[in-house]
Amino acid sequence: MKVLVKKTSKTTQGNKALKTMVVACVLATSRQSNRIASHRKRITKRQGKMKGRIASAHLLLTIAYNILKTGEPSHI
């Protein structure tokens, strides 16, 4: 039987309003079946609720940044 251990990490200080908004967007996708929701569920199983939320918020921001940078629509 494999024992799962939570990974330790610290988030840097950033824009609290942006973080709040993006985490709210991540939570809004929780009942959908898309890439962000499945990512959050997968991380949450291994590392806990808060890390799952923040990791999915980071994924969402990365997707948004790449859309703005390239001008191409996302293929989620």
pTM of the model: 0.79
Q: 30-51 as b/e, with b when 16 or more CB fall inside 10 Å?
A: eeeeebbbebbeebbeebeeeb
Q: What is the dihedral of CA 75, 46, 27, 73, to 10 degrees?
A: -10
Q: Which pLDDT belongs to residue 1?
A: 67
Q: Which pLDDT belongs to residue 55?
A: 93
Q: Which pLDDT belongs to residue 10?
A: 77
The pLDDT profile of the chain, 76 residues, written as one tens digit per residue, is: 677 776 777 777 888 999 999 999 999 988 888 889 999 999 999 889 999 999 999 999 999 999 999 888 776 6
Long-range residue pairs from 1-4, CB within 8 A, at least 24 positions apart, any chain: 4/46
